[in-house]
């Protein structure tokens, strides 16, 4: 995680759930894609443009009777980081004392 991604994730975590509301945010920074909505903040790995195997395509086609795409290890072997956002409990109408 780069410092820029960490700052963006912390900034989004600081936004109150009420203000976030129905806002969904998706950014692509560095080698991860940031997705944030009212339920979660998620950082998904992306293919690296500097990868010598796929050059940012994310994989390659494998020939054979059933051609299929093989994912490159530059993104497929990295984990997705997800933070679930819990709902804010309702405020009590009673006075605190």
Which residues are near Zn ion by CB under 5 A?
Answer: 51, 53-54, 72, 74
Task: For Zn ion, give the closer residue by CB, 51 or 85.
Answer: 51
Shortest CB 85 distance to Zn ion, Å: 31
Q: Are 75 and 54 in contact (CB under 8 A)?
A: no
17 contacts 87 by C-beta, under 8 angstroms: yes
The beta-strand segments (E) located in the chain are 25-29, 32-36, 40-45, 59-62, 68-71, 81-84
Q: Rounded to the nearest whole angstrom, what is the least distance from the CB of residue 53 to Zn ion in the complex?
A: 5
Shortest reach from residue 21's CB to Zn ion, in Å: 37
Q: Which is nearer to Zn ion, 12 or 54 (CB)?
A: 54
Give the residue with the Cβ less far from Zn ion, 6 or 62: 62
Cβ at position 79, least distance to Zn ion in Å: 16
27 in Cβ contact with 33 (< 8 Å):
yes
Nearer to Zn ion, 53 or 70 (CB): 53
CB 35 within 8 A of CB 42: yes
């Amino acid at each position: 995680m780069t410092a820029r991604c960490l700052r963006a994730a912390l900034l989004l975590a600081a936004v109150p759930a009420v203000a976030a509301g129905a806002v969904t945010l998706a950014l692509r920074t560095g080698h991860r894609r940031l997705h944030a909505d009212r339920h979660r903040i998620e950082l998904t790995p992306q293919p690296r443009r500097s990868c010598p195997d796929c050059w940012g395509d994310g994989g390659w086609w494998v020939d054979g009777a059933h051609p299929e795409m093989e994912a490159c290890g530059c993104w497929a072997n990295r984990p997705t980081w997800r933070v679930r956002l819990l709902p804010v409990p309702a405020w009590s109408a009673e006075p605190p004392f």
